[in-house]
Structure 1
């Protein structure tokens, strides 16, 4: 009968060996305790859904400017196309030639010209400044020549006897147009005449004259819808529509030039 082996107890380690060939090894180093960092729950402040970042507000304002500019382009196009249709179908003679020239000159070319540098202009906002300047003086040269010629034709026809509100405003627009074109040449070569007048003052004066001419010219156009020439060729409802479109175009077109004029006045106040 085989003898039962007695268990061997090691003194160096508390492990009972029953004769197995597997040896127990101690870890080379003691196991260090590890800690897990428990983060406290974060508290988030309540944010209103109506709160917009400055970038979002600026983007919405730009979209509004683009929309209003598109609306303005529609008003300008409608007035120009209808007046061209009304005058061309009866022949460009006398008052018809006068009405067509001032509409093309002031309501179209000048309106588009004063909006060239406006950042909200959907037609030219991506153009470089040099390109905008070139288009600006081309449009205003065409607008000034057409508008002044149309006003001069009517003044010669009337013998410079202007008693109505439409006639007096038209004569004022004619004078301002000539002054604005002269100041435009000076502003175009502002770097060469900077010894006489600083470029900032030169361009500010030109902007003021050009904007004043545009406002007076479109106001004259508004009163032109009350003349016998237009009343005899259109219905009352259409006269009201043309007045509304012209005033809308005047207000929307004036925003860009007024903004630029205000910025130039601020720069002048800082320098002086």
Structure 2
């Protein structure tokens, strides 16, 4: 610190060492999506619960729970992955010390690592119409439906607490069997003990122990597990071409079924 021309002290700021990395992640187990729909959120805001939908077919109910961007591309919100990374930070140490990236009450991760963009689009998406599989009586048939990744309308028995008792409920969710995505990470290597290896370890742990979607490992389930298959440094000028600034919304608008709606069902 030195004295400036006004007699005060000047401050020297070191330039942050920022790097951008693109990681390619591939799902190892099925992904179950079950976000809170806008209707349910509105009911929470107004304290007026929305009436239960007993008219729509299972495939329609599931379609409303898919994440899509304004162009209809399917994926997941960036926030979902970052939350998984924060949780996984409990398993990763900073450098060779004893300090963990995250604890039960907080995390250092946001201070030196961020995900670029609002959405993580599936990179195994197909062009045009995707196929929607629906299980019926132990066999599958397919629906022509909008969507850039094939998915299955999954309907099964669940249990919900009701006072001192538990009651059986139906849970209908889209299940994606094949999924992969690219994520661009902005890493500040100026922070002490932060290295690319630390962040790579956090992302790998997120795929293994946190997971994504419903019934993931952090919820004692086996769905939403993924692995990091590649890791490469990219130029800042190339980042924009590989990220989506579009926010994900919930729900496909139209599904054209090829079987009677009332026949769509799945055994528990």
Q: What's the TM-score, normalizing by structure 2?
A: 0.23
Which structure's residues are more often strand, by fraction?
Answer: 2
Which structure's residues are more often helix, by fraction?
Answer: 1
Q: What's the TM-score, normalizing by structure 1?
A: 0.23
Which fold has the larger relative contact order, with Cα–Cα distance below 8 Å and residues 6 or more apart in sequence? 2
Which one has the largest radius of gyration? Answer: 1
